[in-house]
Structure 1
Amino acid sequence: MAGEATGTSLAGTPGDIPHNALMSEANSPRPSAMALQGVRVLDLSRVLAGPWCTQTLADLGADVIKVERPPKGGHPGGDDTRGWGPPYLKDRDGQDTAEAAYYLGANRNKRSIGVDIASPKGQDLIRELARRADVVVENYKVGDLTRYGLNAPALLALNPRLVFCSVTGFGQTGPYRDRAGYDYAVQGLGGLMSVTGEADALPGGGPQKVGVAVADLFTGMYATVAILAALRHRDATGEGQVVDMALLDTQVAMLANLGANYLTTGQAPRRMGNAHQNIVPYQVFQASDGHLIVAVGNDGQFVKFCELLGVPELARDPRYATNAQRVRHREALVPLLAERIAARPRQHWLDAMEAAKVPGGAINDLAEVFEDPQVRHRGMVVPMAHPLSDGLRVVASPMKLSATPVAYRLPPPLLGQHTDEVLAELGHGPEAIAAWREEGVIA
């Protein structure tokens, strides 16, 4: 905001602008201390990986301005996920709004402006915002922003302190750079589906994707870490930089121990259903009335587990006494354990395992998850006021910071909800804003 107590103007260079200049205090109340308070993020991303990154930055206090395309030519405009429903948020009369639950899950604490970046004036507005930003996050196809003069070299020339993060399917280099990237395809290409699901020979066997878009989500989180590292470097040196994030790179990295298994042995791991490649017993078992998870992580826990099952002799059997031996003889051991577990109800075993400090747990559906006393105690559901509804609840951030806690300042914005506010902060008057809206430059 021009003319705050500092008397500074938004017309200056990035270094001249107060850190809170693009934060509307009237509409965005903040606690006195947030970890990223004063960081300005220009969000040119949509769908999930990019918005997940920018939502995380926003939760930590950054002022995130989400740029969305205005309605045009019959297209409703906005982030694609606004229409990815049902389900949709219900209004105060119980009717569906145009706000899909998918969109609501990745866009809180942001301000939305509608700008047509295909238009010269829209491009000028993006440049104005980039001059005053600390971070730009975008997930356009490789080369798309170059056509508009909004690519990394162009914006870094305007603002050398800028951290410019690109999120794509395959990165800015390499033979696949021009391909569109989607989480589902990357889960397959990056090997995750080759190790997820039951073995081919078993009922229901075959490759299986993970139930949520983990390549997108992990890429968003890795992008967040990389941006924070780049900001620290910028603060130390004054130099911005480019962050090149790829879904495929992230998917390969998150293979973790299975990737290490292959690189160590030269043998590709296969699907093992709910069993662990390197630990036994570490899988789902069937009790008399349902399923439970057993997650024995060391030999001492295995001794306790055998005792509560009533088969202490198994822990003394040299075939099963160590984890390495249990992995080698899992085909003989697991049926013996399964027979014992099947004889009693699930809760019997869960109580016994908790008393013996043997790791494991129930398999909850989402209704059970959000009623779980630990989940409720940790405040993992947050109600938020919304312009269209009194019933918005969001899944909370898992980040618990003692001195700079996450704050839920803004509900996921309506398309273009903050256009006038943000442009006014840039110094543009109502007449200019009205003219651009009439021309279709903004929404």
Structure 2
Amino acid sequence: MSTSNSTPLPKALGHIRVLDLSRVLAGPWCSQNLADLGADVIKIERPGSGDDTRAWGPPYAKDAVGRDTSEAAYYLSANRGKRSVTVDIASPEGQALVRELARHADVVLENFKVGQLKRYGLDYESLKAVKPDIVYCSITGFGQDGPYAHRAGYDFLIQGMGGLMSVTGERDELPGGGPQKVGVALTDLMTGMYATVAVLAALTHRDRTGEGQYIDMALLDTQVAMLANVGSNYLNSGKPPKRWGNAHPNIVPYQTFACADGHIIVAAGNDGQYQKFVEAGGRRELALDPRFATNPMRVKNRDTLVPLLAEMVRERRRDEWIAMLEAVGVPCGPINDVGEVFDNPQVRSRGIEIEVPHAAAGTVKLVRSPMKMSATPATSDKAPPMLGEHTDEVLSEMLGKDEAEIAALRGKGVV
């Protein structure tokens, strides 16, 4: 996106440099957001192997003749817009390089185990000594203190420990009932999102006061925080919420229904929408019945009402229901598979799927940032980097290393 005279629009974070020591998902999701907003994100990776997710395939990106490249689709999902530099941070020379790079950075992001980077002289206090106003964000499973601080934390475990799986899945008394994890690593992703917000807030504080700070992000903290109304329901009732499958604990009908040829979601958020729903299905008596006239009554009598609604919905095809309900303003929609998602006319119109140049694959398909901003648009036009693709460039540009110095570092396995 550019102005009418073809001058590129400014980048919101074009003045920010991020030294990203994180890998896998939560940290890279944060740094990808910052890169989309224009920050220069330098991804520090282990020589020879790099981010673990580079090998988390298949599927892999394919080259022009259909052969797999070394770039796993998982890795591609969280690393666009960055520059990759390989450094062995277990070596003293590698640690010195990272400290030099930190001197030129605004933000350091890491997700190592508690205390590990202190042994390398790459913890907050060590880097604050070389860059006093640094914003340093650590992401761990359980945070920097508490009895679980030194445990390894993984999204799946945290979904279970943090209560999400207790409210996800079909009701215990129904077929298929039991705890279920969410189909994407939601806790990792939300931790990355909260970390993004925290980093931006810390940068704003730094710009106002000159003071950097330390950010302690934990997957478990995030998971508990994002329980939202479910957590609030417990705190205000003392009763642990249960699983409701595709239904809603506080709204009826707000769930999936089987049609004659598939499934739909009906989200009747008020009494008027409920009335229009049953009238469209030819069951006006269900709107007049005092047991179902208001949402509190429908919640109370859900076990009586829902089978009647299910019988009604099963009489028509999915597309017929969607057309009828959209015509009368009842929120509804299909349950798409991912292929149908990317083929959806609204998704296509919004340009969410993009194709960008890639060193090994020629081009790769990515999902653009969902942040649409008029004055400082997010950009997603740089493919995730190949391992070490920018090592020479960054060491020369930022640290003034010449070819001979870089070659010597490479010969010793430091980069």
Letter in 2 for 1:366: V
SS at 2:359's partner residue? Answer: coil
What whole-Å deviation, never above 9, does each CA across 1:64-90 have from its counterpart, x for those lacking one?
Answer: 00000112xxxxx20000000000111
Q: Given the alignment, which residue of 385, 408, 415 partners 1:435?
A: 408
Do 1:31 and 1:407's aligned partners in 2 also have CA atoms closer than 8 Å? no
SS in 2 for 1:66: strand
The answer to whether the 8 A contact 1:61-1:406 is kept is yes
Q: Residue 6 of structure 1 aligns with which residue?
A: none
* SS at 1:385 equivalent: strand
Determine if the alignment matches structure 1 residue 237 to structure 2 residue 237: no
Give the match for residue 266 of structure 1.
Answer: 238
Worse overlay, 301-310 or 369-378 = 301-310
Q: In structure 1, what is the Cα distance between the partners aligned to 2:131 and 2:381? A: 28
Given candidates 45, 51, 54, the residue that maps to 2:28 is: 51
The corresponding residue for 1:205 is 177
Alignment partner, residue 192 of structure 1: 164
How far off its partner does 1:317 sit? 2.2
Local SS of the residue matching 1:70 = coil
Q: Does 1:167 align with 2:128?
A: no
1:51 to partner: Cα distance: 0.1
Q: What is the rounded CA distance, in whole Å, between the counterparts of 1:67 and 1:371 in structure 2?
A: 36
Correspondence 1:88 to 2:65 = no
* Partner SS state of residue 116, structure 1: coil
Q: What is the CA–CA distance in structure 2 between the aligned matches of 1:353 and 1:377, rounded to whole Å?
A: 23
Structure 1 counterpart of 2:390:
418
Residue 155 (structure 1) aligned with residue 132 (structure 2): no
Q: Secondary structure at the match of 1:111?
A: strand
Residue 3 of structure 2 corresponds to none
Alignment partner, residue 322 of structure 2: 350
Give, in angstroms, the shift of residue 307 of structure 1. 1.5
Matched AA of 1:439? K
Scaled by the length of structure 2, the TM-score of the pair is: 0.97
The one-letter code of the counterpart of 1:52 is W
Q: Can you give the 5+ residue segments of structure 2 that lack an aligned partner in the other structure?
A: 1-6
Return the alpha-carbon distance in structure 2 between the equivalents of residues 387 and 189 of structure 1: 41
1:37 is aligned to 2:10? no
Offset of residue 321 of structure 1: 1.6
Q: Distance in 2 between matches of 1:197 and 1:401?
A: 36
Counterpart residue number, 1:407:
379
Task: Say whether the 8 Å CA contact 1:171–1:177 is kept in structure 2.
Answer: yes
Q: Which amino acid aligns with 1:430?
A: E
Instruction: Tell me how far 1:201 sits from its aligned partner.
Output: 2.1
Tell me what 1:140 maps to: 112
CA deviations over 1:165-217 (Å, ceiling 9, x no partner): 00000000100000001000000000111111111222211110000000000
The answer for the alignment partner of 2:45 in structure 1 is 68
Q: How many residues align?
A: 408
Structure 2 counterpart SS, 1:199: coil
For residues 266-319 of structure 1, give each alpha carbon's deviation from its aligned partner in whole angstroms, at most 9, with x where no partner exists: 111111110011111000000111100001111121121121111222223222
Query: Contact 2:103 / 2:131 at 8 angstroms: preserved in 1?
Result: yes
The residue number in structure 2 matching 1:331 is 303
CA distance in 2, matches of 1:300, 1:232: 45
Distance, in Å, in 1 between the alignment partners of 2:152 and 2:401 is: 37
Aligned counterpart, 1:18: none
In 1, distance between residues paired with 2:8 and 2:333?
Answer: 37
2:275 equivalent in structure 1: 303
Percent of matched pairs sharing the same residue: 65
Q: What amino acid sits opposite 1:155 in the alignment?
A: L
Counterparts of 1:324 and 1:316, CA distance in 2: 15
Partner Cα separation in structure 2 for residue 93 and residue 440 of structure 1: 33
Partner residue in 2 for 1:14 = none
Q: CA deviation at 1:408?
A: 2.4
Query: CA offset at residue 92 of structure 1?
Result: 1.9
1:432 deviation in Å? Answer: 0.4
Task: Tell me the secondary structure at the aligned position of residue 339 of structure 2.
Answer: helix
Q: Structure 1 residue 319 and structure 2 residue 291: aligned?
A: yes
In 2, the alpha carbon distance for the partners of 1:404 and 1:326 equals 47
For 2:85 and 2:291, the matched residues in 1 are separated by: 64
Q: Residue 410 of structure 1 aligns to which amino acid in structure 2?
A: K
- Please give the alpha-carbon distance, in whole angstroms, between the structure 1 residues aligned to 2:8 and 2:167: 44
